[in-house]
């Protein structure tokens, strides 16, 4: 099978939804390539063309050429990883996805596809309004991460989070309790720090000490910046977030970190409460669970080890057959 992935970006979505699965399909003997540029040669030689989140005006014109090409022999796949039709107005991404032309393109492009692939079942339910042939292909991780030793400091309890300004609303629900926890722990002379990776949202709590690392375009170098003891994963209950995957918690699990996460659908199906991390139901839970993990390093290590065991089920090696089946069957 010859598969080409037409990337919308080189960020996390492009990595997890195209590069990682196609890289694994290549190891399984398929011919797989991906690029932000789609050439006539790629079109003519491919059995499957995956179009990642195509919705901007220029790429949409090209997509329509692909869908309407007479006598085409390739399978046209529309790949989407978020509910782009439900982006909250306070989300910076709304500047793009609130545009009527972009919204119309998402719907039209999904309808024109032979197959739509998504990362979660809630997102599949959204996209089935526009195309009956929707398949859930879960986000998966490179397996070698399971064996990495992170460079965390053993004499400082490092609480970490990675993300960007689109998570501002998520931090509105967790900022104050985490700020209070940091202040109380510091007053008790606990050696603690916050380490954020990416871009800090406006409502991120003002805590001290706070170490920050910018995004690294090299994904493996990015993984190695995550040098925490505990990962945070606040997520506000919203229509947009209902379609989210557990990717943030999954990255932490692959690296052996317990996670303290909002008890929402995305994390509730992945985090095993009290075993691989904690699920937060109320504001006081952030304080409670961060304190437990601070005061009991043995339990913290056991949770991290358990998280890595669960993460083995979510490597691309374990799930690549789903991608192969989806493309081959369609």
* 8 A C-beta contact, residue 293 and residue 230: yes
Q: What is the DSSP string of 165-181?
A: GGGHHHHHTTHHHHHHH
What local confidence, expressed as pLDDT, does residue 92 receive? 84
DSSP code for 90 = T
Where along the chain do its domains lie? 2-140+316-329, 144-314
Topology given in CATH for the domain delimited by 144-314: Rossmann fold (3.40.50)
What local confidence, expressed as pLDDT, does residue 148 receive? 87
**Phi then psi dihedrals of residue 264, to 5 deg:** -120, 170
What local confidence, expressed as pLDDT, does residue 301 receive? 94
Give domain 2-140+316-329's CATH superfamily: Glycogen Phosphorylase B; (3.40.50.2000)
CA–CA separation, 165 vs 214, rounded Å?
A: 13
CA–CA separation, 74 vs 125, rounded Å?
A: 25
Which residues have a Cβ under 8 Å from the Cβ of 47 and sit 6 or more positions away?
A: 1, 2, 3, 73, 74, 75, 327
* 8 A C-beta contact, residue 286 and residue 177: yes
What local confidence, expressed as pLDDT, does residue 10 receive? 83
Let me know the angle formed at the C-alpha of 194 by 192 and 195, rounded to the nearest 5 degrees.
Answer: 130
User: Which stretches of the chain drop beneath a pLDDT of 70?
Assistant: 330
pLDDT tens by residue, 156-200: 999 999 998 889 999 998 999 999 999 999 999 999 999 999 999
Q: What is the DSSP string of 110-122?
A: HHH-SEEEESSHH
Written as six digits, the tokens of 221 are 């170098």
* 8 A C-beta contact, residue 113 and residue 131: yes
Buried b (16+ CB within 10 A) or exposed e, 134-153: bbbbbbbbbbebbeeebebe
E-strand spans in 134-267? 134-136, 157-163, 192-198, 210-213, 230-233, 259-262
2-140+316-329 with 144-314: one CATH topology? Answer: yes
Angstrom CA distances, 75 to 15, 72, 262, stand at 21, 8, 38
């Amino acid at each position: 099978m010859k598969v080409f992935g037409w990337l919308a970006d080189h960020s996390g979505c492009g990595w997890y939804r195209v590069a990682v699965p196609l890289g694994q399909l290549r190891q399984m003997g398929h011919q797989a390539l991906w690029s932000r540029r789609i050439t006539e040669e790629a079109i003519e030689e491919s059995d499957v063309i995956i179009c990642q989140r195509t919705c901007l005006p220029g790429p949409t014109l090209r997509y329509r050429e692909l869908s309407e090409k007479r006598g085409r022999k390739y399978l046209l796949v529309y790949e989407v990883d978020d509910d782009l039709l439900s982006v909250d107005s306070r989300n910076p991404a709304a500047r793009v996805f609130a545009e009527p032309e972009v919204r119309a393109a998402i719907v039209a492009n999904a309808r024109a596809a032979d197959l739509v692939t998504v990362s979660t079942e809630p997102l599949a339910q959204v996209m089935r309004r526009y195309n009956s042939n929707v398949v859930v292909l879960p986000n998966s991780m490179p397996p070698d991460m399971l064996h990495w030793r992170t460079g965390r400091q053993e004499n400082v309890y490092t609480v970490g989070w990675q993300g960007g300004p689109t998570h501002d609303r998520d931090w509105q629900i967790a900022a104050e309790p985490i700020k209070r926890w940091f202040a109380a722990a510091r007053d008790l002379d606990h050696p603690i720090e916050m380490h954020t990776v990416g871009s800090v949202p406006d409502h991120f709590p003002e805590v001290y000490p706070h170490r920050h690392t910018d995004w690294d375009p090299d994904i493996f170098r990015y993984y190695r910046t995550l040098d925490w003891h505990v990962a945070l994963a606040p997520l506000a209950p919203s229509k947009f977030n209902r379609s989210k995957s557990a990717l943030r918690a999954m990255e932490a699990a692959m690296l052996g970190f317990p996670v303290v996460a909002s008890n929402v659908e995305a994390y509730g199906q992945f985090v095993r409460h009290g075993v691989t991390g904690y699920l937060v139901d109320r504001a006081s839970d952030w304080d409670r669970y961060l304190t437990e993990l601070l005061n009991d390093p043995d339990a913290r290590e056991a949770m991290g080890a358990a998280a890595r065991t669960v993460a083995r089920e979510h490597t691309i090696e374990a799930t690549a057959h789903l991608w192969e089946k989806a493309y081959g069957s369609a």
